[in-house]
Structure 1
Amino acid sequence: MVKILDTTLRDGEQTPGVSLNPHEKLEIAIKLDDLGVDIIEAGSAITSKGEREGIKAITSQGLKAEICSFTRAMTVDIDYALECNVDGVHLVVPVSDIHIKHKLRKTREETLKCALDAVEYAKDHGLIVELSGEDATRSDIDFLIELFKKGVEVGADRVCVCDTVGVLTPERSYDLFKRICGEISVPVSVHCHNDFGMATANTLSAIRGGAQECHLTINGIGERAGNASLEEVVMALHILYNIKTNIKTEKLYEVSRVVSRLMKIPVPPNKAIVGDNAFAHEAGIHVDGLIKNNQTYEPIPPEMVGNRRRIILGKHSGKAALKYKLDLMGVSLSKEEFEKVYERIKNLGDLGKYISDVDLKTIINEVRGESPERKIQLDELTVVSGNKITPVASIRLKFSGDRKEEQLIETSFGVGPVDAAINAIRKALSSVADITLEEYHVRSIGSGTDAFVEVTVKLRRGHEVVEVKSQQEDIIRASVDAVMEGINLLI
């Protein structure tokens, strides 16, 4: 059994442009705990007052996971961690000569003493201590082992080898951890970065070499090229190496999307395990194989990780794929309608477009001459913005539910008038559908202050994604129209 330390809320939050408030940190922590993560690195208590509030919110929840804070080998860091009521600290000490000489401006002896003093201080205050060697994979291995051995002597519960700039290779990783694990009496952890795209492979090799714990992030987010991806490492361990963890794999997709939404970092479509294309198929020969046996082109069932199979229609699709797709959707077409829909799909495919489920429903409606009911209509929109005025939008929507028609009225603020208007729409619809805005783009059509603008939005509801464009002279109206159209398509 391999333990998982999730550092999404610390190393992951250090992704450029990402900053979580305490409520968002708590929401992610609860999801991680429900996922089955053994240890949650909730942040770095020394960072700020807001960071400490977030960590305290997490430690007050009584989660099953061990909660720790990142600290340097300094008593002030440990004191702030204690203030947050964490179970332990991830105590990180630079160990490479590059870091010791140029960052710390100390000697090895001084660095070693600071590390041991910090470990003793943390243990004296009742904390679990995981002692990490920063930039360990560029350090003198003998010095690293000396630090670990002496750290264990003064109470360190675990030690961790950090591949801080991602320079390990799978071969070196296996050899390094085999030696360290053979000489250290406590569990050894691995912490890999993805600078050369090998974080997952290096983590797996470290576990083969004897590591009993690995540091991972959801979606592989993190500084620079990111950290080892939790979903990739866990599924490779489970499926390829028959090594178990406590992770509930069927929740991986859900947690991935929560982190993506709160950190505002889209998951690449081709991301392993949790990407929207991870179980997507378009080529006719692939779809034909899937119809006969899903295992022909899928290494695992998508449901195992909470994802789903997607049959993509485009220029590579055959009629069998369209028929299979229609059967899955429970749609019956006449022979003439089928041929018209297929022709439309091929024509759009030649233009470089793939056909989503929402697109296919739209094509079917057009072929049949049907106009889908707009369940949500905009009745009124008022936006106030100006100098020294926080932009605020009030909106009134008419929602045609299954049994009755109701008015949805909401007001919301934003960083600008467009943001306020879209926030108001989302707030009004929160009780109707959980729809998230994944992308928003604006471009000018023409020149001058009265030029048209084209707004493109990408919206998601569960696994369904739709992209809509709207052109108007008014950027607020264009944005609202695009969002409303997308919401109606999804609903």
Structure 2
Amino acid sequence: MKVRVFDTTLRDGEQTPGVSLTPSGKLEIAKALDDLGVDVIEAGSAITSKGEREGIKLIAKEGLRAEICSFVRALPIDIDAALECEVDSVHLVVPSSPIHIKYKLKKSEDEVLDQAIKAVEYAKDHGLIVELSAEDATRANIDFLIKLFKEGEKAKADRVCVCDTVGVLTPQKSEELFKKITENIKLPVSVHCHNDFGMAVANTCSAIIAGAKQCHVTVNGIGERAGNAALEEVVAALKFLYGYETNIKLEKLYEVSRLVARLMKLPVPPNKAIVGDNAFAHEAGIHVDGLIKSTQTYEPISPEVVGNRRRIILGKHSGRKALMYKLKLMGIEVNEDQLNKIYNKIKELGDLGKYVSDADLFAIIRDVLGKDLKEEIKLDELTVVSGNKITPIASVKLHYKGEDRILIETAYGVGPVDAAINAVRKAISGVADIKLEEYKVEAIGGGTDALIEVTVKLRKGTEIVEVKKSDADIIRASVNAVMEGINLLLQ
């Protein structure tokens, strides 16, 4: 069976506290989701604001393969706003639990039912696909839930959805509930789970097993409170653990994960399943020894299948075999004495509680072998202009030694650091496709003259490096970190 994927990153995901996308940002994510293979893109809630409608209109007019949907309440004004955006469908959400009906709506069940069906009929009369969704359905009276969906069937709704709005389902209860719903309802049933108890993915999979045909998910599991069921985890679990297919191109999962993280300014936790940087990372000596013999020993699937990569982390838990394996991957040859010196320095850093980044490892290797980092691209000049009522702008002049040519570019940014990094990335775009994955700043000491430590994580293909640089000038520290990371990736 093929399971449909309803992505609500741009609606429920954007409701993550502190997140607000521009219309162009929403469009960029929508195009990536469409390319990823999702079946439905919930582009937002049209009634929210003028900017929200602009974003939804942009997506609806882009000619994407996916069905474009707007969230609506059971109100004609909401449906009219969705129609104005020219969407294909509406996700028509109706409160269904006694808690919501009594305290939020202050209505009777009959009044809620009547309003819901009138809204379904209104949307259908205007040519929309309708997914009738019961909010807080997992705390609703099951008889009312079935009655709501049966009346929705009569009103020609196209799909129905059971929402675990506050994440109180368990996998066992999920299976029982969806079996009962699918036995009584002929329409395709969707599952929408929240992660308040960390069981959104498990509950979603249980619902699919019990007969649900479509799952609501968000990239990286973002959303209100503890978030929603994570798209990447659900589709991977369905395929590799349960044998269900989707239209998702698994090899694009990591790429889309990082795009959403960057545009929504929500970093992906390193230990995040499937797309986290540590999802396929190994440090312990016994694990790396097993990997060298067969990657299946400590990896359930190949990282490349989901667009991620295998990482060998060096630290106090690492053995010599791990170091030898890492050096081999880097194409670096050392003798026994040099290997021991590098190994001992790594152990010393590990005992100090320090994570040995790629930049740290290169520094250790350079120190032991007496070699300097080959600087493929050198920063010759950097000029940044910023001030009150001036859009920050930066220009850079780089010397690309590989082809002995000068690279000059100018770029704008939301701030002087952003402008400077944008100029560098723009200048090297013709040399290598390098993306900024993460950027962190920390003040060392107090006062206005405090040192600033900048950490950047850069990616080229499947290779990722992390570099830290300190300086009293945040712009200089940032650009120096980016330049060293670029040169590391070009090694």
Whether the TM-score (by the shorter chain) exceeds 0.5 is yes
Cα 1:21/1:430, change in 2 over 3 Å: farther
For the 8 Å contact 1:438–1:460, the answer to whether it is kept is yes
- Structure 2 residue 4 is the aligned partner of structure 1 residue 3: yes
- Which residue pairs with 1:461 in the alignment? 459
CA distance in 2, matches of 1:173, 1:237: 16
1:31-110 superposed matches below 5 A: 31-110=32-111
Structure 1 residues 114 and 399 mapped into 2: Cα distance closer, same or farther (>3 Å)? farther
- Secondary structure of the structure 2 residue equivalent to 1:459: strand
Unaligned runs of at least 5 residues, structure 2:
none
**Corresponding letter in the other structure for 2:454:** T
Correspondence list, 1:332-481, <5 A = 332-387=333-388, 389-414=389-414, 416-432=415-431, 433-436=433-436, 438-447=438-447, 449=448, 451-462=449-460, 463-472=463-472, 474-481=473-480
2:390 aligns to what SS in structure 1?
strand
4+ residue segments displaced more than 6 Å: none
The alpha-carbon distance between structure 1 residues 7 and 252, as it changes in their structure 2 partners (threshold 3 A), is same
Give the Å deviation of 1:437: 5.2
Cross-structure match for 2:115: 114
Aligned AA for 1:307? N
Cα RMSD after superposing both structures: 1.8
Answer with 64-73 or 426-435: which moved more: 426-435
CA distance in 2, matches of 1:292, 1:8: 40
Deviations 1:49-101 (A, max 9, x none): 22222222222222221111111111111111112221111110111122122
Q: Distance in 2 between matches of 1:465 and 1:12?
A: 28
Counterpart in 1 of 2:127?
A: 126
Structure 1 residues 213 and 174: CA distance shift in structure 2, 3 A: same
**Residue equivalent to 1:18:** 19
1:481, distance to aligned residue in structure 2 (A): 3.4
- Displacement of 1:266 after TM fit? 0.8
SS of aligned partner of 2:30: helix
Q: In structure 1, what residue type is equivalent to 2:50?
A: K
Structure 1: segments with no counterpart, 5+ residues = none
- Aligned partner of residue 333 in structure 1, secondary structure: coil
Which piece of structure 1 moves more, 219-228 or 316-325? 316-325
Amino acid at match of 1:75: P
* Count of residues in correspondence between the two structures: 486
Shift of residue 139 of structure 1? 1.2
User: Which amino acid in 2 is paired with 1:404?
Assistant: D
Of residues 187-196 and 436-445 in structure 1, the stretch that sits farther from structure 2 once superposed is 436-445
Give the secondary structure class of the aligned counterpart of 1:268: coil
Query: For residues 7 and 155 of structure 2, what CA distance do their matches in structure 1 show?
Result: 26
Identity %: 65
Identify the residue that residue 220 of structure 2 maps to in structure 1: 219
Which deviations, in whole Å up to 9, do the C-alpha atoms of 1:183-206 show, x marking residues without a partner? Answer: 001011100000010101111111
CA drift of 1:373 comes to 3.0
Deviation (angstroms), 1:370: 1.4
SS of 2:266's partner is coil
Deviates more, 1:429-438 or 1:277-286: 429-438
Q: Secondary structure at the match of 2:229?
A: coil
Q: TM-score, normalised by structure 2?
A: 0.94
Q: 1:446 Cα shift?
A: 4.3
